């Protein structure tokens, strides 16, 4: 199911709709999706999905900024892991692919870092981007589990629980101990 199909569950969706048809002064650009909700409940659900997307994007961005900065520090655990990817995976004379999976402790993260390195990102950027992608996945899983535990109708509460769990731990831990990410 793509995003358009999901939105159609809650209202009428027009793609690439000119906003000038919906404004008093007949001005406005083209909206990627123009949604007319079927009910107040549908409007609330659409707003929950929009807020979820915004929170996930902000969380991924904050994670990227923190992790790419930490990965620059030569004594950080993240720097050591990211450099090992560059040295082992991308250098066939060092054992390459087989050695990579036998010696790494976080193969999913290391594989993502390797992909980003091949795409031309620096070690710090690749580490930050891999952390950001896993942060998105974590945020979505936490939100989904919170909705199951709290209840389907408590979507806003689940979103609030997700924000508290993710942001408070991400911000509080480095504030409490600035060496928490230094290995």
pLDDT tens sequence across 11-32: 898 889 999 988 889 888 998 8
Q: What percent of the chain has pLDDT over 70?
A: 76
pLDDT of the residue at 183: 45
Q: What is residue 62's three-state secondary structure?
A: helix
Interhelix angle for 123-150 vs 77-84, to 10°? Answer: 110
Q: What percent of the chain has pLDDT over 90?
A: 4
Mention every residue, 6+ apart, whose C-beta is less than 8 A from residue 129.
Answer: 64, 68, 112, 116, 121
Question: Which residue has 């999976």 as its token pair?
Answer: 101
What's the pLDDT tens digit per position in 104-140? 566 777 788 888 888 888 888 888 888 888 877 877 7
Confidence of residue 176 (pLDDT cuts 50, 70, 90): low
pLDDT of the residue at 30: 92
């Amino acid at each position: 199911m793509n995003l358009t199909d999901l939105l159609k569950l809650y209202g009428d969706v027009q793609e690439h709709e000119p906003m000038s048809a919906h404004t008093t002064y007949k001005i406005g650009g083209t909206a990627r999706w123009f949604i007319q909700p079927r009910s107040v409940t549908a409007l609330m659900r659409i707003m929950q999905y929009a807020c979820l997307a915004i929170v996930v994007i902000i969380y991924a961005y904050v994670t990227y900024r923190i992790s790419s900065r930490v990965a620059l520090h030569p004594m950080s655990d993240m720097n050591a892991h990211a450099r090992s990817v560059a040295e082992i995976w991308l250098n066939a004379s060092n054992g390459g692919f087989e050695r990579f999976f036998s010696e790494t402790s976080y193969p999913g993260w290391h594989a993502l870092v390797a992909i980003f390195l091949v795409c031309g990102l620096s070690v710090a950027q690749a580490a930050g981007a891999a952390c950001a992608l896993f942060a998105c996945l974590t945020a979505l899983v936490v939100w989904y589990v919170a909705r199951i535990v709290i209840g389907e109708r408590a979507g806003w509460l689940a979103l609030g629980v997700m924000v508290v769990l993710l942001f408070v731990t991400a911000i509080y831990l480095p504030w409490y101990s600035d060496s928490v990410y230094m290995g």
